[in-house]
Amino acid sequence: MKKLLYVVPFLLIGGYFLLKPSKPFVSKLNQARLMLSELRGGDFTHAGDKEAVDMVITKIKQEFPEILKGNCLDVGCGFGGTADYFVKNGFKHVWAIDIDPAVINYAKSKYKQVQFSSVDAASVSLKFDRDFFSFIYLFNVLYAIEDKVTVLRQLARVSKPGTILMIFDYSVEETTEPLLDLAGKPMCPIQTKKIKQQLYESGWEVLEVRDLSETFVVWYEQLLQKLENKKKEITGHFLEKDIAKFSATYIHILHQLHNKTLGGVLIYAKRI
Ligand SMILES: C[S@@+](CC[C@H](N)C(=O)[O-])C[C@H]1O[C@@H](n2cnc3c(N)ncnc32)[C@H](O)[C@@H]1O
């Protein structure tokens, strides 16, 4: 009987956790980004959708095929569609991080072959060992990070010598008036005149810089066309105000791309 009394508190605590009403699921996902991913027809929120990822995969397979067997890191993975696409294209070990826990929860529940975690790129070396990765890529992420050198240094710490880094992003020649992104935060595009030096300072040697500005124009025209074509469907899933914000953001970005105050760039670098 005495022994039974010891067990009672544990039964009560266990029972409380079993019967406690679970909190209703409240989506903290950025609605404009969710809309973008729906329009792009995959969990991508970068320019050029699969076409952009295919550009990178083709190059890696042709020039650095050994990377497919190594450890790869998707930085700022968002909803996880890009990382999953790499796995489906033969990349064996893909890790993915994002600063936003809501997108990581979403990605974890959907893509089981990628190892997702909620980590700030500026402190990635706390999560991974030195020399861990052979390939690191960022699709439309650095524009959201003001202190690029800190992040690039952190990425170098978890990379082995010879690791390939791929940066795909918005670019500017000179700093102009700041643009706001879909999350309402100021954008800090890659400064084409500074990036080589920033990479070198952080432990990376530039292999290739490819100007994608004209391609970005085509991609954003197509995106706005898709929005027009799918407006009815989208209106059923999202609030008017989110659709309006989305449309205004991309019309503005396209305008900047047309008048060449904004561009797009694809950079490959190698860990020194
Ligand atoms: C435009 S989305 C791109 C998502 C993804 N790369 C893709 O191609 O679909 C930018 C992502 O970068 C993430 N991000 C911004 N700053 C970050 C940081 N310091 N560390 C990790 N992720 C970051 C954001 O949370 C967001 O999910």
**Each residue of 163-214: pLDDT tens digit?**
999 999 999 997 767 777 877 788 999 999 999 999 999 999 999 999 999 9
- Residue 5 forms part of a structural domain: no
Q: Which stretches of the chain drop beneath a pLDDT of 70?
A: 1-27, 176
- Residue 244 forms part of a structural domain: no
For ligand 1, residues with CB inside 6 Å are: 44-46, 76-78, 82, 97-100, 103, 120-122, 139-141, 144-145
78 CA → ligand 1 middle, Å: 5
Alpha helices for 20-71 (secondary structure H): 31-40, 49-63
One-letter amino acid at 85 equals Y
CATH assignment of the domain containing 209: 3.40.50.150
- Residue 103 forms part of a structural domain: yes
Q: 12 — phi, psi (to 5°)?
A: -65, -45
- Residue 248 forms part of a structural domain: no
227 CA → ligand 1 middle, Å: 22
pLDDT score of 27: 53
Domain that holds residue 124: 38-213+263-271
Helix, coil or strand: residue 262: coil
Q: 183 — phi, psi (to 5°)?
A: -90, 5
Closest Cα to atom 4 of ligand 1: 78
13 CA → ligand 1 middle, Å: 40
Q: How far apart are the first and last CA of the chain?
A: 70
- Residue 145 forms part of a structural domain: yes
143 CA → ligand 1 middle, Å: 9
Closest Cα to atom 27 of ligand 1: 78
Domain count along the chain: 1
Cβ–Cβ under 8 Å, residues 174 and 260? no
- Residue 8 forms part of a structural domain: no
CB neighbours of 53 closer than 8 A, spacing ≥ 6?
Answer: 44, 82, 85, 86, 139
CA dihedral 43, 44, 49, 55 (to 10 degrees): -110
Nearest ligand 1 atom to the CA of 182 is 1
CA-based Rg of the chain, rounded to a whole angstrom? 21
- Residue 66 forms part of a structural domain: yes
Q: What pTM value is reported for the model?
A: 0.89
- Residue 243 forms part of a structural domain: no
pLDDT score of 28: 76
